[in-house]
């Protein structure tokens, strides 16, 4: 009796799956016809827009910094899984000064099959429909606001680091046009990060439909915008449009370098952990405190943790102080969480980091998700002091800095060591006094003097060139001052 019931249920389920697949196929074919791409293998479009720097917002929970794109041209060949986009850029440096002209280039080839690159082809309206037609799509009804959609979903042939395929879903409106496409990719801060692209204001070029407005969002804010003036299907010069600049000849291999030291003792119980991004390991009576322990990546954070435990054995890491939220300084935080350490950051970053680090991580499980530990975050407003009978570390908020709200630096008053990020770099020898002065340098000095700090050695998170600790005299010199 039960066996027969199960067989009936299985049969009904299979019939539903078959019917759903047929419905999706019919819908996709109707959309392909409506958008005029039945015989379209390539596309060229042009206009203007903007590119945005993911993870570099001036304030946590704020928009990513914008760079305008002029003379934007893009060519896509779906048969080759190739795309090339170019534009002229004008961007103002965050440290102040005149905007500088640059170039935007986005080159994608079939040889670069990673979904992080290929998605830029297959989440376009035309690429989405072609992918849906080729990859066994399914369909369901849904709505956004008061607008109803048919949501078509398909899986990629590419696999994520976890082994799961990526998901692509497109919202097809009542006119059989693609309104938006969603996919998800792995990100060290956001976990399974939504990549959402919205298409609107469709125009018609002799039956070929294209959106005049494109907005892509990652991390909840735009990362790309374009206003498309015109688009052509099957351009005759597609190969010319896809011709990438000649590759630069490989550099002559240098002689193998002598293995660099992993750390440098600055004082008893104080170690600079050396790398492209430096960190500090500071010994207290019964624990270790890190400054910038989560910089660069999870792998680098694990190196910092291991070296800290080597030079300061048999003590747990209790805190890791984050200078600011930018992703090149925070992408290793999952390793800090997995270690059981508490992240210390400025007040303005707490909600952002709590939400981001709490997101699911199914595409690329990391040490944090494997440990099942939850982020522990404590904050600083203007000043916080970590102290026991062996050590004092002052954590100070840097005020007035354009680069990032909530920037923290640390000061060890007994050792007279100051550590910071992203405010001062050694100027080139042929221009010892930059003109105009670097805003970050001026703000750094103003804060040192405001707080009445007396550093004798100053450690930059970004390694100086040549590598060394700086002095206050170096900062003054770069501003044309002697005192």
Helix (H, G, I), strand (E, B) or coil at 462: strand
Burial class (CB in 10 A: 0-12, 13-18, 19+), 364: middle
Statement: residue 349 has pLDDT above 70: yes
Write phi, then psi, for 46 (nearest 5 degrees): -150, 160
Write phi, then psi, for 350 (nearest 5 degrees): -60, -50
Q: Are 65 and 222 in contact (CB under 8 A)?
A: no
Statement: residue 131 has pLDDT above 50: yes
Statement: residue 14 has pLDDT above 50: no
- Distance (Å, whole) CA 105 – CA 243: 12
pLDDT tens across 77-115, in order?
999 999 999 999 987 776 566 778 899 999 999 898 999
Mean pLDDT of all residues in 408-433: 92
pLDDT tens across 269-301, in order?
999 999 999 999 999 999 999 999 999 999 999
Region 22-241: CATH code:
2.50.20
Distance from chain centroid for Cα 371: 23
- Between β-strands 417-420 and 408-412, what pairing exists: parallel, antiparallel or unpaired? antiparallel
389-424: string of b/e by CB count within 10 Å (b at 16+)?
Answer: eebebbbbbbeebebbbbbbbbbbeebebbbbbbbb
Q: Where are the domains of the chain?
A: 22-241, 263-478
Helix (H, G, I), strand (E, B) or coil at 454: coil
Mean pLDDT of all residues in 321-341: 97
Q: Which of 73, 74, 184 is nearest to 123 (CA)?
A: 184
Least confidently predicted of 176-180, 253-257, 315-319, 461-465: 253-257
- The residue assigned the tokens 């070029």 is 205
Which structure tokens are listed for 176? 């059989």
- Between β-strands 417-420 and 377-380, what pairing exists: parallel, antiparallel or unpaired? unpaired
Statement: residue 11 has pLDDT above 50: no
Q: What pLDDT shows up at residue 252?
A: 54
Q: Does domain 263-478 have CATH number 3.40.50.2000?
A: no
């Amino acid at each position: 009796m039960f066996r027969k019931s199960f067989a009936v249920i299985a049969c009904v389920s299979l019939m539903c799956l078959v019917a759903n697949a047929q419905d999706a196929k019919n819908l996709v074919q109707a959309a392909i016809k409506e958008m005029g791409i039945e015989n379209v293998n390539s596309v060229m479009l042009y206009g203007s827009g903007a590119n945005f720097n993911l993870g570099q917002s001036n304030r946590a929970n704020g928009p990513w910094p914008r760079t305008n794109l002029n003379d934007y041209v893009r060519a896509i060949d779906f048969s080759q899984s190739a795309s090339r986009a170019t534009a002229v850029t004008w961007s103002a440096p965050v440290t102040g000064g005149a905007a500088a002209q640059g170039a935007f280039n986005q080159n994608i080839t079939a040889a670069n099959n990673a979904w992080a690159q290929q998605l830029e082809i297959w989440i376009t309206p035309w690429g989405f429909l072609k992918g849906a037609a080729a990859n066994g799509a399914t369909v369901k009804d849904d709505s956004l606001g008061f607008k109803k959609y048919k949501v078509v979903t398909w899986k990629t042939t590419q696999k994520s680091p976890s082994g799961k395929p990526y998901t692509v879903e497109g919202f097809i409106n009542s006119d059989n046009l693609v309104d938006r496409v969603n996919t998800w990719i792995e990100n060290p801060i956001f976990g399974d990060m939504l990549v959402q692209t919205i298409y609107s204001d469709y125009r018609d070029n002799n039956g070929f439909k294209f959106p005049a407005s494109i907005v892509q969002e990652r991390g909840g804010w735009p990362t790309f915008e374009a206003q498309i003036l015109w688009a052509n299907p099957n351009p005759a010069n597609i190969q010319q449009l896809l011709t990438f600049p000649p590759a630069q000849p490989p550099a002559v291999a240098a002689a193998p370098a002598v293995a660099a030291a992993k750390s440098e003792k600055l004082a008893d119980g104080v170690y600079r952990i050396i790398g492209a991004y430096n960190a500090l390991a500071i010994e207290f009576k019964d624990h270790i405190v890190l400054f910038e322990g989560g910089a660069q990546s999870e792998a680098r954070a694990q190196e910092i943790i291991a070296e800290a435990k080597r030079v300061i054995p048999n003590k747990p890491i209790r805190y890791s102080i984050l200078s600011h939220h930018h992703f090149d300084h925070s992408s290793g935080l999952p390793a800090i969480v997995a270690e059981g350490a508490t992240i210390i950051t400025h007040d303005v970053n707490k909600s952002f980091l709590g939400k981001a680090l709490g997101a699911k991580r199914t595409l690329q499980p990391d040490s944090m998700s494997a440990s099942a530990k939850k982020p522990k975050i404590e904050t600083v407003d203007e000043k916080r002091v970590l102290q026991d009978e062996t050590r004092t570390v002052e954590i100070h908020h840097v005020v007035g800095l354009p680069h990032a709200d909530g920037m923290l630096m640390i000061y060890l008053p007994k050792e007279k060591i100051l550590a910071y990020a992203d405010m001062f770099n050694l100027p080139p020898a042929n221009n010892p006094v930059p003109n105009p002065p670097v805003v970050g340098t001026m703000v750094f000095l103003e804060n040192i003097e405001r707080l009445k700090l007396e550093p004798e050695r100053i450690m930059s998170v970004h390694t100086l060139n040549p590598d060394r600790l700086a002095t206050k005299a170096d900062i003054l010199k770069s501003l044309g001052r002697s005192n």
